[in-house]
Structure 1
Amino acid sequence: MREYSVPPLVETPRTGGLADSVFLVAEEDPDLVQLMRRDPSAGEEWSEVSATAFRDEVLALAKGLLANGIRLGDRVALMARTRYEWTLFDYALWSIGAVPVPIYSTSSSDQVRWILADTRAVACVVEHEDHAMTVGAVCDSVPSLRSIWQLDSGCVRELMADGAAVSDELVHRHRAAVAPGTAATVIYTSGTTGRPKGCVITHANFAAECDNLLTGWREVFARRAGEQPATLLFLPLAHVYARMVQVAALRGGVTLGHQSETSADVLLPALASFRPTFLLAVPYIFERIFHKARRAAEEHGRAELFDKAADVAVRYAEAAERKMLDEGSGPGAGLRLQHQFYDRTVYTRVRAVLGGRMRNAMCGGSPLSREIGLFFAGAGVTVIEGYGLTETTAAVTVNPPGRIKYGTVGRPVPGTTVGIAEDGEVWIRGGTVFAGYLNAPDATDQVLRRGWLATGDLGSLDDEGYLTITGRKKEIIVTSGGKSIAPAVLEERVRAHPLVSQCLVVGDNRPFVGALITLDPEALDHWHRIHRKPPAEPHQALSDSDLHDEIQRVVVTANTVVSRAESIRAFRIIPEQFTEERGLVTPSLKLRRRAIAKAYAGDIEELYTPS
């Protein structure tokens, strides 16, 4: 096996749990602005929450949980969007040694039933009445469930009142019983290949992940002169990536804000008002920002200016990358002058959309195209790509600051070893690897092998330890001619076009590769305006030969990165989106391939039916 290791920068704590940091920070830096929260009574303005105030709220809520019978080791489900109260409940539960179990706010009743029953949850925190009804509908099949608390009905205030007579000492005794190896949470996988499995992640797993990132990527997270580091969290806290961000922020003295809505119309104004110094996001966010900026420029007759600025940004970042990697001298004088001009006219507006203070972003969850990464770097925002899984407590590789290789997912996080098995599968070893799947020893044994985690992903390592992910073992397509194809590269290339929303490559046991493609409604509307065509819904636009030709050009361009045997020979435009509500994508927007293939079996069959 080919391996690459990076030694840990921080020793994993030998005692205590995640909640200890809240009490420690409040003692050492009581006035530190630990969080910012929206105040509806003040016109949605951000209000500060000091380390002392947050500790007091955590303590009061922990006492209320004890008063309601929650004890060490009990599992309590959280079903809500990303909001301040989720973080509050996480730390209150950790303070008494209980185990939060996240549930996506969009989960079906069947998914909720499975998670509550599998974890034997004793209580469930929900956001609003719809969630309460979903949980209530499955209560009869979950005999362990004793309580449902609703955030929008003031449950935090009520629980705090219930705990008024409980002593602080009782909370501290529970907190002292928490050890690094204690389960901190059970996070369920997205279930792209079957029923979701509960990943048991310990306090030590989170500490190993967050402390090494905070130390190794200090220039991203650390305080600068006169500036408090801050990040706005909008990823779903039911996902391990967002939970890691939350823990890292509170352990590292970073001000944390929460944003529930993620549509561009709501998220972008929130970024502008919160003004984060760095961001942790998924590629979709950066793609949307880029395409939205390009469309805005085109509508104002400045498309040529934007395209030239984008080209300069990419070339400038590529030259800077070569210098970082000791392969060149950096941008030349002419390129620097062009870059200065476009910085004043274009790049500053891109940074303003992100709040104006942001210099770095960390990105994971799915591949980020090299071109998008280079564009943002050239525009003054370095996007640091990484890779990880729920089973590895989020990131296991991240590009190191000052030595980024765009198009790779970086080198191992300190304390981690990455190996490439004989069949190309990525294996991981280190302190972030989870304890196993809840109630599923056979499934655990399939992935935990002699101290290694077999990820199911395919990849390669270069001589400096940079990892490139090439696909998933279970997603490999084998054509009837025996050709094995990893679809991710093609799908990423097709999806890079602003008109394309999603792309699913098919071809298992078929004579050639085909694709199902969905269109971005906003981009499609823009395309109609630019081409002076009347507005049309996606299903109406399918008969437009010009649109079909445009997508044909997209596919032809994507095919240039693969061999002829791997190229897309036929495609079909699907008029509706693959959505989570229809069970076609996971909450983290990964395609559920089997579900899509089943839902669109007729469309796939037509790809292979002679005209």
Structure 2
Amino acid sequence: MAKEQLTIKHYLKTLEETVCQQWNQKALCDYGGDSFTYADVARSIEVFRVFLNEAGITKRSKMAICARNCARWAMTFWDINVNECVAVPLLADFHPNSISTFTHHSDSVLLFTDKEIWEKLNPGQMPNLRAAIDVKDRQMLWHRDEKVAEAWENREKAFAQKHPTGFSKEQVSYPSDNMDKLAIINYTSGTTGNPKGVMLTYGAISDTDAFSNSHFPNHPGETIVSMLPMAHMYGLAIEFIHPNVDGVTVYFLGKTPSPSTLLRAMQEVKPYMVVTVPLVMEKVYANSIKPALDKMKWLTAIPQARKAIYKIVRKKVLSAFGGQVRGFIMGGAALKPEVEDCFTKIRLPYTVGYGMTEACPLLGWEWCTEFVPGSCGKPVHDLRINSDDPRNVPGEIQVRGNNITIGYYKNPEANAAAFTDDGWFRTGDLGLLDENNNIFIRGRIKSMILNSSGQNIYPEELEAVLSGCPYVNESLVVERKGRLVALVYPEIPDDLDMNRRSEIPEIIRTTANKSLPVYSKINEVEFVDEPFEKTPKMSIKRYLYR
């Protein structure tokens, strides 16, 4: 279905305007630590420009960033991005071999990292690398190019010589004639066998920012807490770039915070929006909302009291997150039906979107007031279902638009497989579109199970049913010799009778099968001892389990 394209303004022009208007206002802050104004950001960008000139590093040069979220990480991104070099964000949790491989594969000439990560890397595996620099203290960690090292050491002196009377907002000017130029290479997986560096242009980022502004606008002076890794486009685009270019102060938590630290930060920062993954909100539900509702269960049976109770619970949740939240935005996985049902009942302003790195990252979105539970919003741009009956028979979701990747860096085989002959990007996801154009994900093509009778079985649908069963914390459905086996990480009360514990797998299986068609009933439930290993987006790494 074709959609009307938004008028796209370059996000760097928006940043330029914001820098000039919010010159002395906070732009980037480490929670409980350093803070930087928009003037600081502008000065850093200009110092970096001087350094590049002195070092002889040209536009379009690639530069990797591999460190945990912090204000200096964000400033480094702006240094690279505004000066029209290509940023290569890498997860700090990647294996050292993966970091070296991707740094080399991307042709990065600089690596911004930290001492702990750098000590585990081998410069010999990165022959194109000219220097490594500490993200936080900006000290040179290593170099093989004396000119680069000297330029970095003398960058402040060179900056002062270029701007003897100081640097002011009147001198700020950022490029906007580069929409088709490469801005980011983002590696989607830690697997090094066939590196897939997603290439995203300035135009793709501008498109995402334009869509975000039209659907969930923000305002100068507002605040947001950054929890998601900026090495992923979800965190980079939605938690950092979109808010920051519009004058929102971004607070970084750094390492994964404890629940108490997170809530304390929310109370102090008072964010206008919470961008997260379903797992976080499911924990909020399990630890706070459900216990509160259970205590008043008898009252919720009374229609007159129910509405008042739901309002009280909603107010407590919003207050716990600082009291200024206009919306909870989730993505990366489906929200458990039980949790979604509760959020809908208490009218919590939430939405679950659909995206992937290759879409920078938005594919599906709907604001809280219009969001249909169970869906992942409406198409951001052109989207089609490769099915003769897209309302009833799942097919591959295929997309196109200004936000879509131009391909994978130096990977012609992956590029050939990623696009259809008529130019649509293959998402690899199976889904449906209802009569109102809402998207419903049914699973991944790669994880679909074809049973002996020719029926398509989507493990994600079975897992959604299992998530509503007693004693199930999380689950994963696999096929073993034609049988459907549910791997379950259980949630069993400590005081449960031992005899009863042995019956739990069968209780789960029987409960789930009551809601499943004959051809997809679960044959066996098998407990696992530890939570499933997950990606940074908190989706289960299916390929590890069989």
Q: Same fold (TM over 0.5)?
A: yes
Q: 1:156–1:373: structure 2 CA closer, same or farther, 3 Å change rule?
A: farther
**Structure-to-structure mapping, 1:93-492, within 5 angstroms:** 93-127=80-114, 129-135=115-121, 137=122, 139-155=123-139, 162-166=155-159, 167=162, 176=175, 179-190=178-189, 195-218=194-217, 221-222=218-219, 228-245=221-238, 246-262=240-256, 263-293=258-288, 297=291, 304-305=294-295, 307=297, 335=303, 337-344=305-312, 346-413=313-380, 416-422=381-387, 424-449=395-420, 450-492=422-464
Instruction: Give CA deviations for 1:235-284 in whole Å, capped at 9, x if unaligned.
Output: 01111101111111123332222122334243222222222121111111
**Structure in which a larger fraction of residues adopt helix:** 1
Q: 1:572 to 1:151 in 2, by over 3 A?
A: same
1:54 maps to a residue whose letter is V
Deviation at 1:355, TM superposition (A): 2.0
- In structure 1, C-alpha distance between the alignment counterparts of 2:70 and 2:193, rounded to whole Å: 29
Relative contact order (alpha carbons < 8 A, sep ≥ 6): 1 or 2 greater? 1
Would you say 1:6 and 2:9 are equivalent positions? no
Contact 1:190 1:587 in 2 (8 A): no
* Superposed displacement of residue 380, structure 1: 5.0
Aligned twin of 1:328: none
**1:447 Cα deviation after fit:** 1.4
Tell me: CA distance 1:341–1:181, structure 2 relative to 1, closer, same or farther (3 Å): same
Using the alignment, how far apart are the partners of 1:558 and 1:58 within structure 2?
56
Distance 1:391 1:25, change over 3 A: same
Which one-letter code corresponds to 2:21 in the other structure?
E
User: CA contact under 8 A between 1:67 and 1:163: conserved in structure 2?
Assistant: no
Contact 1:186–1:200 under 8 Å retained in 2: yes
Moved more, 484-493 or 48-57: 48-57
8 A Cα contact 2:277 2:332, kept in partner: yes
User: Aligned Cα RMSD in Å?
Assistant: 3.1
The residue type paired with residue 237 of structure 1 is: M
Counterpart Cα distance in 2 of 1:194 and 1:409:
32
Q: Identity over the aligned pairs, expressed in percent?
A: 21
* Deviation, structure 1 residue 470: 0.4
SS at match of 1:375: helix
The count of aligned residue pairs is 521
Q: What is the identity, as a one-letter code, of the residue corresponding to 1:546? A: R
Q: What SS does structure 1 have at the residue aligned with 2:2?
A: strand
- Rounded Cα–Cα distance in structure 1 between residues aligned with 2:525 and 2:4: 47
Matches of 2:206 and 2:134 in 1, distance apart?
Answer: 30
Q: Which amino acid aligns with 2:119?
A: M
- Secondary structure of 2:384 counterpart: strand
**Residue 391 of structure 2: aligned partner:** none
Aligned residue type for 1:586: T
2:16 is the counterpart of 1:23: yes
Give the Å deviation of 1:378: 4.1
**Structure 1 residues 499 and 64 mapped into 2: Cα distance closer, same or farther (>3 Å)?**
farther
- Partner of residue 603, structure 1: none
Check whether the contact 1:373–1:383 (CA below 8 A) recurs between aligned residues.
Answer: no
**Which among 533, 538, 541 is matched to residue 589 of structure 1?**
538
Counterpart in 2 of 1:494? 466
CA distance in 2, matches of 1:22, 1:132: 32
- Cα displacement (A) at 1:131: 0.5
Aligned to 1:506, what secondary structure does the other structure show?
strand
CA contact (8 A) 1:240 1:394 kept: yes
**Deviations for 1:446-501, whole angstroms, at most 9, x for unmatched residues?**
11222211111000011211110000101111234543211011123324568544
Map Cα deviations across residues 27-72 of structure 1 (whole Å, 9 max, x no partner).
Answer: 23434443343344xxxxxx76433333223333443455445431
Once structures 1 and 2 are overlaid, which stretch shifts more, 444-453 or 28-37? Answer: 28-37
Structure 1 unmatched runs, 5+: 41-46, 313-333, 534-543, 580-584, 598-611
Deviation at 1:377, TM superposition (A): 4.3
- 2:517 corresponds to which of 563, 569, 572: 563
Q: Deviations over 1:322-342 (max 9, x none)?
A: xxxxxxxxxxxx746422245
Per the normalisation by structure 2, the TM-score is 0.86
Q: Distance in 2 between matches of 1:173 and 1:253?
A: 16
Distance in 1 between residues matched to 2:54 and 2:345, nearest whole Å: 55
For residue 573 of structure 1, what is the aligned residue in structure 2? 527
How far off is 1:18 after superposition?
A: 4.5
Tell me the secondary structure at the aligned position of residue 73 of structure 1.
coil
